[in-house]
Amino acid sequence: MSFATSAERPAREIAPAVASQVVASYPTYKQAERAVDHLSDSGFPVEHSAIVGRDLRLVEQVVGRLTKTRATMMGAASGAWFGLFVGTLVTLFVIGPEWVTVTLSAILIGAVSGAIFGFVAHSATQGQRDFASASAVQAGQYDVTVADAYSERAAQLLSSLG
């Protein structure tokens, strides 16, 4: 059995391999989505269209300070969820009312393990990156593109959208 590297595998193309034109541009994804929905509602073959984000940027929104206490609590919560998952799987093989004890024990063990891991992991950073954040890729503009053969009809339909 051989494994192909990413350089050897053909890239999966999302956009059609036919030439296309930009028929409309919008500042938000919601507006571009609304335009394609309008095309669909008008009977347009939307499988010949795409929404293309341009001027991409990574936005990292800081959501709060990450203290040892918060890291410990977040670790405990994650561990408890994992414990619930494991406990639920184990209870498939438990007969009788002991399933409650097994599940609660798994949740407790997961929470304690997660709390320890969260505390140790945060302490290991020695004060570097003491904040929690959420990242998202945003586009500055969204273009609705349509295959050349359908571009005139799409432009006409979108002009009625306003």
What integer pLDDT is reported at residue 97 of this predicted model? Answer: 81
The residue with tokens 């561990």 is 79
Q: List per-residue pLDDT tens for the chain, 162 residues long.
A: 444 444 444 445 554 567 889 999 999 999 999 999 999 999 999 999 999 999 999 999 998 888 899 999 999 999 999 999 999 999 888 777 888 889 999 999 999 999 999 999 998 988 788 888 899 999 999 999 999 999 899 999 998 876
Taking the C-alpha atoms of residue 136 and residue 44, their distance in angstroms, rounded to an integer, is 32
What integer pLDDT is reported at residue 19 of this predicted model? Answer: 84
CATH 3.40.47.10 fits 20-56+140-159, yes or no: no
Taking the C-alpha atoms of residue 56 and residue 25, their distance in angstroms, rounded to an integer, is 15
What integer pLDDT is reported at residue 7 of this predicted model? Answer: 47
Domain ranges of the chain: 20-56+140-159, 61-135
Taking the C-alpha atoms of residue 6 and residue 130, their distance in angstroms, rounded to an integer, is 35
What integer pLDDT is reported at residue 79 of this predicted model? Answer: 96
How many Cα atoms sit within 13 Å of 94 on the Cβ side?
14
Phi-psi region of 96 (alpha: psi -120 to 50; beta: other; left: phi over 0): left
What integer pLDDT is reported at residue 5 of this predicted model? Answer: 46
Q: For residue 76, what are the CA distances in angstroms to 65, 116, 130? A: 17, 8, 18
* pTM exceeds cut of 0.75: no
What integer pLDDT is reported at residue 96 of this predicted model? Answer: 79
What integer pLDDT is reported at residue 29 of this predicted model? Answer: 94
